[in-house]
Amino acid sequence: MRTKFGLFFLMLTIGVQVFAQDQYLKAKSDSIEKIYEAKDIYPVKSFSQKFKTQKPKNIILLIGDGMGVSQVFAGLTANKGHLFLENFKHIGFSKTQSANGYITDSAAGGTALASGHKTNNGAIGVDADGKPVKSILEEAEAKGLATGLVSSSAITHATPASFISHQDGRSMYEEIATDFLKTDIDVFIGGGIDHFSKRKDGRNLMEELKSKGYQVETDIMEISKVKKGKLAGLTAPVHNGRVAERGDMLPVATKTALNILDNNKKGFFLMVEGSMIDWGGHASSTRYIVEEMLDFDKVIGEALEFAEKDGETLIIVTADHETGGMAITGGNMQKGVVIGSFPTTDHTAVMVPVFSYGPGAQEFTGIMENTDITVKMRKLLIE
Report the catalytic residues.
Answer: 106
Residue 111: count of CB within 10 angstroms of its CB: 39
Residue 80: count of CB within 10 angstroms of its CB: 15
How many residues interact with Zn ion (rule CB under 5 A)?
1
Give the DSSP H or E segment for 94: strand 90-95
Query: CB 344 → Zn ion: shortest distance, Å?
Result: 11
The site string for Zn ion over 237-266 (x = CB under 5 A, - otherwise) reads ------------------------------
261-320 binders of Zn ion (CB under 5 A) = 278
d(CA 350, CA 346) in angstroms, rounded, equals 12
Residue closest to Zn ion, measured at CB: 278
**How far is the first Cα of the chain from the last one, in angstroms, to the nearest whole number?**
90
Radius of gyration of the chain (CA): 22
Of Zn ion, Mg ion, none, which one sits near residue 235, judging by CB under 5 to 8 A according to partner kind? none
Q: Using the rule CB under 5 A, is 179 a contact of Zn ion? A: no
Of Zn ion, Mg ion, none, which one sits near residue 71, judging by CB under 5 to 8 A according to partner kind? none
Query: CB 345 → Zn ion: shortest distance, Å?
Result: 10
Q: From residue 99, how far is each of 106, 111, 133, 279 by CA, in Å?
A: 13, 11, 14, 23
Burial 143-158 (b: 16+ CB within 10 A, else e): eebbbbbbbbbbbbbb
Q: Using the rule CB under 5 A, is 106 a contact of Mg ion? A: yes
Q: Where are the alpha helices (DSSP H) in 172-276?
A: 173-180, 193-197, 205-211, 220-224, 243-246, 249-261
Q: Using the rule CB under 5 A, is 322 a contact of Zn ion? A: no
Query: CB 282 → Zn ion: shortest distance, Å?
Result: 6
Q: Using the rule CB under 5 A, is 165 a contact of Mg ion? A: no
Q: Closer to Mg ion at the Cβ: 83 or 108?
A: 108
The phi and psi torsions of 115 (rounded to 5 degrees) equal -115, -20
Of Mg ion, Zn ion, none, which one sits near residue 275, judging by CB under 5 to 8 A according to partner kind? Mg ion
Of Mg ion, Zn ion, none, which one sits near residue 372, judging by CB under 5 to 8 A according to partner kind? none
Question: DSSP 3-state assignment of 339?
Answer: strand
d(CA 93, CA 139) in angstroms, rounded, equals 25
Q: From residue 40, how far is each of 119, 125, 291, 302 by CA, in Å?
A: 41, 40, 11, 19
Q: Using the rule CB under 5 A, is 119 a contact of Mg ion? A: no
Q: What is the DSSP letter of 275?
A: T
Query: CB 108 → Mg ion: shortest distance, Å?
Result: 12
Query: CB 377 → Zn ion: shortest distance, Å?
Result: 23
Query: CB 250 → Mg ion: shortest distance, Å?
Result: 13
Q: Closer to Zn ion at the Cβ: 287 or 376?
A: 287
C-alpha 294: how far from chain center: 12
Pick the binder of Mg ion from 58, 111, 119, 159 (CB under 5 A).
159
Q: Using the rule CB under 5 A, is 141 a contact of Zn ion? A: no
d(CA 77, CA 331) in angstroms, rounded, equals 8
Segment near Mg ion (CB under 5 A), from 63-71, 228-236, 333-341, 368-376? 63-71
The total number of residues written for the chain in this structure: 383
Segment near Mg ion (CB under 5 A), from 33-41, 44-52, 173-181, 270-278? 270-278
Q: Closer to Zn ion at the Cβ: 267 or 274?
A: 274
Residue closest to Mg ion, measured at CB: 159
Q: Using the rule CB under 5 A, is 186 a contact of Zn ion? A: no
Residues that bind Mg ion (CB under 5 A): 65, 106, 159, 275
Residues that bind Zn ion (CB under 5 A): 278
